Amino acid sequence: MTVLVHPQALENFKVRDFQMLIDGKWTNGSSGDVIERKSPGHGVVVSRYQAGTKVDAERAIAAARVAFDTGPWPHMTGAERSNILLKAADLIAARADELAYLDCIESGKPISQAKAELGGAVDIWRYAAALGRDLHGESYNTLGEGTLGVVLREAIGVVSIITPWNFPFLIVSQKLPFALAAGCTAVVKPSELTSGSTLLLGEILMEAGVPSGVVNIIVGTGPEVGAPMTTHPHVDMISFTGSTGVGKLTMANAAQTLKKVSLELGGKNPQIVFPDANLDDFIDAAVFGAYFNAGECCNAGSRLIVHRDIADDVVARIAALSAKVKVGDPLDPQTKVGAIITPEHLAKINAYVRNAASSGATISHGGELLNLGMGQFMSPTILSAVQPEMAIAREEVFGPVLSVLTFETLDDAVRIANSIDYGLSAGVWSRDFDTCLMVGRKVRAGTIWMNTFMDGASELPFGGYKQSGLGRELGRHAVEDYTETKTLNMHIGSRKVVWSVN
């Protein structure tokens, strides 16, 4: 179901101008250039940012370096940092509607989804604040009477945080509060397509009491701003979320100075469905998993691996539900699928669908570019008769496109699931929990959902196998990722002479 975007909505837009945050001050970029962001759902300019350059990145890195080396933040108690993060969480909650609105109009995601993401982000900030009080090392008093070993956990230093456009506020919230809880300072580069909510976060953090220079936020392109953030010798760690291709470049850049790297990259996530599954639950999860955030989601359930005996019925039922999914104005609370991020990305998604059809796949539903009066939209799309070797079954499309493959045995399903370069997440559906556990143990992915899909919690680690990334976000060890360990090996009393000198 599609609904036109109403031109009357344009009357409510006011272009918002943003500056960069460097060393606790809002400032213009060194070039004087400006980036204008058009709403993908409405086709009008909604935000203007200062366009950062290498000079601005270096200023921000210098501020973060000084704040870490000489400022109070790393030396505060865990309780002091935790209290500031808790205040930030409260302020985020108080401004959640404003933040959600910015994410909605800049990314094209439905406003109802953006508000739900803000609720999740608030929980993450509070969880990180709690972990900041529990960060600790180890002691060893079993090394002999004359030896005591203490292992400290110290903040790693300056962290470059680079985030994508598909979940602007949620993903920065999966990184920044944990870095801050550990005592690190940061330079944050949001996507130049969706920087508004992250810049607003800068206002919130200053109000919460984060000292100057601890969090610096600059906007710009990858070559101009992202590159120096990944190569500069004063940066100690990089936390990046984005495409696998850019993740590989980030890792290569970091290798020049052997920085620690955390990468959350792409996915081509399967849902494996056995004949005894609760199909009512599965059909809903399949549609949600494929079309959530218009499929512009690394965790999207974009591959269905369905037992051959039920494949035709599953495709027909998914198509019937897909036809009821509301595509339209992102600002409409009833919208389920909003706009595609850019015209160029829409063309890329469409090319994948056309190529799959020409290679023998069947378009069982959708496959159309939608003219809703303004903005760029695509219909929810189902491709059946997909073969494992096709590009549509192996590459990340990042759009509302679902590929359906079939299997006959459990081993066949696992082989198909593991046959690609990605390993971010997967789902398995069966009333037989032995089947679920066998699949869960054999599929190489960071998260396996059993009889559900795309559930999550701040307590559960998130990350991937293979080319889906390195490291984990969230979970009780997330703060530890932003630390180094230091061993203090202490000798008590006189040291035993090993080399005598005569």
Distance CA 258, CA 72 (A): 27
Asked whether 468 and 266 are in contact (CB, 8 A), the reply is: yes
| No. of helices (H) and no. of strands (E), the chain | 15, 25
**CA 481 → CA 69, 71, 306, 381, 495, distances in Å?**
19, 21, 37, 39, 36
Distance CA 5, CA 373 (A): 6
* Residue 7, pLDDT score: 58
Looking at residues 251-274, what average pLDDT do you find? 97
Looking at residues 76-89, what average pLDDT do you find? 98
Q: Report the candidate in 266, 297, 306, 240 with the shortest Cα–Cα distance to residue 446.
A: 266
Q: How many CB atoms lie within 10 A of CB 299?
A: 23
Strands in 138-140's sheet, in edge-to-edge order, are: 138-140, 147-155, 483-491
3-class state of residue 166 by DSSP? coil
For the segment 467-487, what is each residue's pLDDT rounded down to a tens digit?
Answer: 999 999 999 999 999 999 999
Looking at residues 145-160, what average pLDDT do you find? 96
Q: Which of 1-5, 72-76, 104-108, 142-146 has the lowest mean pLDDT?
A: 1-5
* Residue 79, pLDDT score: 98
Q: How many CB atoms lie within 10 A of CB 18?
A: 23
* Residue 500, pLDDT score: 73
* Residue 3, pLDDT score: 66
Q: Confidence class of residue 494 from pLDDT cuts 50, 70 and 90?
A: confident
Structure tokens at 156: 């790693």
145 by Cβ neighbours in 10 Å (0-12 / 13-18 / 19+) ranks as exposed
- Residue 109 sits at φ, ψ, to 5 deg, of -75, 150
pLDDT of 181 over the 90 cut: yes
The helix (run of H) or strand (run of E) holding residue 422 is strand 422-423
Q: Confidence class of residue 157 from pLDDT cuts 50, 70 and 90?
A: very high
The residue assigned the tokens 């066949």 is 412
Distance CA 226, CA 231 (A): 9
Q: List all residues 6 or more positions away from 78 whose beta carbon is below 8 Å from its beta carbon.
A: 132, 133, 134, 135, 181
* Residue 10, pLDDT score: 58
Exposure of 158 in the CB half-sphere (CA atoms within 13 A)? 26
The residue assigned the tokens 């985020």 is 92
pLDDT of 12 over the 80 cut: no
Q: Report the candidate in 244, 243, 266, 298 with the shortest Cα–Cα distance to residue 454.
A: 298
Asked whether 67 and 211 are in contact (CB, 8 A), the reply is: yes
Q: Where are the alpha helices (DSSP H) in 135-292?
A: 168-173, 176-182, 196-208, 227-231, 244-255, 279-291
Q: Confidence class of residue 70 from pLDDT cuts 50, 70 and 90?
A: very high
**CA 58 → CA 53, 213, 220, 252, 317, distances in Å?**
9, 13, 13, 20, 54
Asked whether 414 and 83 are in contact (CB, 8 A), the reply is: no
pLDDT of 8 over the 60 cut: no
* Residue 13, pLDDT score: 73
Q: What does the mean pLDDT of the chain come to?
A: 96
Q: Which residues pair with 430 in a beta bridge?
A: none
* Residue 141, pLDDT score: 95
Distance CA 393, CA 387 (A): 7
Asked whether 168 and 106 are in contact (CB, 8 A), the reply is: yes
Q: Per CATH, which fold does 8-265+473-486 belong to?
A: Aldehyde Dehydrogenase; Chain A, domain 1 (3.40.605)
Q: For the structural domain made of 270-450, what CATH number should be given?
A: 3.40.309.10
387 by Cβ neighbours in 10 Å (0-12 / 13-18 / 19+) ranks as middle
Distance CA 3, CA 443 (A): 39
Catalytic annotation, residues? 264, 298
Q: List all residues 6 or more positions away from 413 whose beta carbon is below 8 Å from its beta carbon.
A: 272, 305, 307, 407, 439
Distance CA 118, CA 440 (A): 30
* Residue 495, pLDDT score: 80
CA dihedral 202, 99, 471, 58 (to 10 degrees): -30
222 by Cβ neighbours in 10 Å (0-12 / 13-18 / 19+) ranks as middle
Domain ranges of the chain: 8-265+473-486, 270-450
